[in-house]
Amino acid sequence: MMSLTGTALLLRQDLRRDRIIVPAWLAVLVLMTYASASATGTLFRSVQERETIAASLNEQPGLLALYGPILNPHSAGELAMSKLTVLYALLSAILYVVLVRRHTRVEEETGRAELAAGTVIARDAPMAAVAVEACAVAAALGLLVCLANIAGGLPVAGSVWFGVSWAGTGLVATGVAAVACQVSASARTCGSIAAALLAGAFAVRAVGDAIDGLGWLSWLSPLGWNTQLRAWSDPRWWVVGLYVALAAGLLALAQMMRSRRDIGAGLISARPGPTAGRISSPEGLTFRLHRTSLALWTAGVALTGLLFGAMAPGFDGLLSGAGGRELVDRLGGTFIAALLPVAAIVTTCFPIAVISSAHQDEVAGRTGFALSTTTSRGRWFAATAALAWGGAAWLLLVTGIALWAGYASAGGVDAKAVVPAALGWVPAVWLVGGLALVGFGLRIGAVGWVFLVLFLATTLVGELLELPTWMVNLSPYSAVPAYPASAWTWTPDLVLTALALSIAGGAWWLFGRRDIS
C-alpha cells in the first residue's frame, strides 16, 4: 500500500529548490545539442565526405567504445549526434542522480526527512515527488533536444526519436538513482553507487559496440539502447518500452527496498569502528575522509585507461603492409589525444568534490571545531588543497600509465608519450581546482562545479559554433595542446600552472582573513 499524502506539496518544494540547477543543466545540454546539429552542415560539406567519416568512425574500436557505432552512414543526423547519442546522454543522466539523491537520501541524512515525516506527509511522498519531478525533467529535456535538433537543421522524425532516447535515458537514470539511494545510510556512498552503475552501463555497451561478436552486450545496457533505437533511420519504436519497463521496475524495486527499511537506515548496516584512531593531523583527516573515493577513482581511471588504450591500436587488423604501421600509430595517437581532454574533464570532478566536502565541513560547523585546536587556518586550507591537487595529478598519472600499458599490450608502439601527454593536462585541472578553492576561500559552495560546466561548454560548444578564438581560449581545457597529435609546447602548461598557483594563493589569503561560520 502506498500512501502519497503531501506529494504535491513536496513536489512544489523540490521544484523550487531546483529552480537554478535544472534550467542551467538543461540549457547547457540543449545548447550543445543545437551546436552539434547546426555545425554538421559546415563540418562535412558533401554527402560523400560524410559517409567516409562515418565509415572510418565505425572502423575504430576506440571511437566505437566512446561514442557507439553509426548504424546508418548515409544519415546526416546520426553523424551529427555521434557524441550525443551515448556519451552526452551519460552527462544528462548525472542530473537525475543529483536530483533523486538530494531529495531523498540527503534529506534523510540531514534529518530533514524525519522532520517532514512527523507532519502529515506520507512515507512514500518524498520518493514519489522526486520521481514525478525527474520524469517531468526527462520529458522536458527530450522535447528540448528534439526542438534543438530541428532548429539545427536535422530531419524532424529523427529529432523526435532522438529526443525520445534522451527522455528514456532520464527515466532509467531516475530508477537507477532511486535504487542506489536505498543502499547506504551515507548520501555520498549512494551517489558513488549510482555513478558506478551508470559507468558500468556505459562500459558494458562500450565493449559490446567495439568488439565484434560481443554486440549482444550493447543490448544489456540502457545506454546501448540509445544507439539501437535507430532514431535516424527505421526506428525500433519498441525500444521505448524497454526504457519504460526498466525504469518502472527499478522504481518499484526502490519502493520495495524503502518500505522495508527504517528512515535514515541503509541496507548495509554500519560496521563498528575502532576505539582508537591513528589520524593526527588535518592532512591525515582529509586523506582518511577521501581515501575510499580516491581508491575507487584510481581503479576507475586505470580500468578505463587500459580498455581504451587497448582499443586505440585496434585499427591494426584492417591494414597490412609496411605503410600501415605508421598510419595505425598516427590514428592511435590521435585517438589518445582526443581521449585525454575527456579524461581531464572527468578527473576535475575529484578535486572539486574534495573542496566541496571541505565547504560542507564548514557549513556543518566541523571546521570551526577543528580550528579551535592548535590547527592553523593555513594548514587546514593546505590539507584540502594538497589532496585536491595531488589527487588530480595522481589520477592523470594513472590514466597515462594505464593508456600506455593498454596501448602497448595491444601492440601499439611509441606509446611512452602518452604519460607526459596525460600529465600535460594537470595544470588545466589545477586551474579549475584553484577556482573551486576561491569559492572555498569566500565560503560560496558550487563555484568549482559552475566553472567546470562553463569551461566544458566553452570548449565543446565554442569550437562547433566557431566562437572567436579568444573566447574559446578562456577555457583552460582549450589551452592545452593535443599532444601527441600535435607538437609539445611548454608555454601553455607553464602559464596555466602559474595562474593556478596564484589563484590558489589568493584563495588561501581569503580563507585566512574571513570569519569561519
Partner 1 sequence: MSDLSTDACGATRDPVIDVHGLVKTFGHVHALDGLELSVSPGEVHGFLGPNGAGKSTTLRVLLGLMRSDAGSVRLFGSDPWREAPTLHRRLAYVPGDVSLWPNLSGGETVDLLLRMRGIEPAGSRKAELVERFKLDLTTKARAYSRGNRQKVALVAALSSDTDLLVLDEPTSGLDPLMEQVFRECIAEHRARGATALLSSHILSEVERLADRVTIIRDGRTVETGSVASLRLTQHATADTSLEELFLEAYR
Nearer to partner 1, 315 or 380 (CB): 380
Figure out which of the listed residues 256, 268, 279, 494 binds partner 1, where binding follows CB under 8 A: 279
Among 242, 247, 248, CA closest to 228? 242
Q: Is 515 in the site for partner 1 (CB under 8 A)?
A: yes
Tell which positions 56-75 bind partner 1, by CB under 8 A: none
Nearer to partner 1, 59 or 283 (CB): 283
Among 480, 514, 509, CA closest to 497? 480
Figure out which of the listed residues 150, 199, 289, 495 binds partner 1, where binding follows CB under 8 A: 289
Nearer to partner 1, 45 or 513 (CB): 513
Nearer to partner 1, 18 or 361 (CB): 361
Cα four-point dihedral sign 265, 270, 272, 276: negative
Among 362, 419, 350, 420, CA closest to 387? 350
Nearer to partner 1, 380 or 455 (CB): 380
Nearer to partner 1, 93 or 358 (CB): 358
Figure out which of the listed residues 288, 409, 414, 469 binds partner 1, where binding follows CB under 8 A: 288
Tell me, by CB under 8 A, how many residues bind partner 1.
Answer: 37
Nearer to partner 1, 260 or 379 (CB): 379
Q: Is 386 in the site for partner 1 (CB under 8 A)?
A: no
Figure out which of the listed residues 173, 185, 231, 312 binds partner 1, where binding follows CB under 8 A: 185
Cβ distance 448 to 436 under 8 Å?
A: yes
Location of C-alpha cell 540549457:
27
Tell which positions 89-118 bind partner 1, by CB under 8 A: 109
Figure out which of the listed residues 1, 48, 212, 274 binds partner 1, where binding follows CB under 8 A: 274
At residue 199, φ and ψ (nearest 5 deg) are -60, -40
Q: Is 268 in the site for partner 1 (CB under 8 A)?
A: no
Contacting range for partner 1; rule: CB under 8 A; set: 16-24, 112-120, 277-285, 383-391: 277-285
Q: Is 388 strand, coil or helix?
A: helix
**Residue 514 CB partners (closer than 8 Å, separation 6+):** 441, 442, 443
Figure out which of the listed residues 20, 276, 322, 487 binds partner 1, where binding follows CB under 8 A: 276
Please tell me the distance from the alpha carbon of residue 492 to that of residue 29, in angstroms, as a whole number: 29
**Residue 11 CB partners (closer than 8 Å, separation 6+):** 129, 132, 133
Q: Give the x/- contact pattern for partner 1 in 328-367, rule: CB under 8 A.
A: ---------------------------------x--xxx-
User: Which three cell numbers, joined as nine digits, stand for 246?
Assistant: 526498466
Among 371, 366, 354, CA closest to 289? 354
Q: Is 191 in the site for partner 1 (CB under 8 A)?
A: no
Q: Is 369 in the site for partner 1 (CB under 8 A)?
A: yes
b/e per residue, 153-189, with b = 16+ CB within 10 A? bbbeebbbbbbbbbbbbbbbbbbbbbbbbbbbbebbb
Q: Is 491 in the site for partner 1 (CB under 8 A)?
A: no
| Planar angle of CA 399, 405, 408, nearest 5 degrees | 135
Nearer to partner 1, 2 or 364 (CB): 364
Location of C-alpha cell 563540418:
43
- Minimum gap (Å) between residue 285 Cβ and partner 1: 6
User: Which three cell numbers, joined as nine digits, stand for 476?
Assistant: 583552460
Nearer to partner 1, 40 or 286 (CB): 286
Please tell me the distance from the alpha carbon of residue 504 to that of residue 511, in angstroms, as a whole number: 10
Q: Is 359 strand, coil or helix?
A: helix
**Residue 424 CB partners (closer than 8 Å, separation 6+):** 340, 480, 481, 483, 488, 493
- Minimum gap (Å) between residue 260 Cβ and partner 1: 19
Tell which positions 404-463 bind partner 1, by CB under 8 A: none
Looking at 410-446, list the stretches that DSSP marks H as alpha helix, in order from N- to C-terminal side. 418-423, 426-441
Figure out which of the listed residues 368, 444, 494, 509 binds partner 1, where binding follows CB under 8 A: 368
- Interface with partner 1 by CB under 8 A: which residues? 109, 185-186, 270-282, 284-285, 288-289, 361, 364-366, 368-377, 513, 515-516
